[in-house]
Amino acid sequence: MMAFDGPVLIAVGVRTMMALTLLAAALPAPLAPPAPPPAPGICWVRDVVAIEGGVRIYFSRKGGPGFVSTATGFFRPGDAPVDPARPDEAGVDAKLGDRLGPQNSPEDGCSLEVVTRDGKIGVEAKAYLHPIELPSEERVEFIVAR
């Protein structure tokens, strides 16, 4: 049977720990999971991005408005072409001064207007909820375009 002297065993353990630490430092860091998409905000808006002459307003394909009335007709997020960079969202372009009307049912809806405030372009969102036989609720929020 082989006997180990206490200090020798400790030295071997310290060297092993140092080697493992160096090995761990040389390995690539694990990738962080992708951030979840932002929750829909007022009027089912997921994001507002500045574009030339206006904004692109993104809605969820599922759980967003059933349709959005625009200056040029109707926009249905669920039927819009899929952008591979944003497969769960659908964007509609609007110019400064345009008004849009996202809606799901006669009891709830919104009006969106592309405006500037303090030199920043964005969307003024006015949400309403008018449940049958209950008091109505309204909320207004300015969403700055990124």
Report pLDDT digits (tens) over 12-25.
454 555 544 544 45
Question: What confidence category does residue 119 fall into, taking pLDDT thresholds of 50, 70 and 90?
Answer: very high
Residue 122 pLDDT more than 80? yes
Which of the four pLDDT bands, split at 50, 70 and 90, describes residue 126? very high
pTM of the model: 0.67
Which of 24-28, 109-113, 134-138 is the most confident on average? 109-113
Q: What is the 3-state secondary structure (H, E, C) of 77-119?
A: HHHCCCCCCCCCEEEEEEECCCEEEEEEECCEEEEEEEEEECC
For residue 25, which phi and psi values (nearest 5 degrees)? Answer: -70, -30
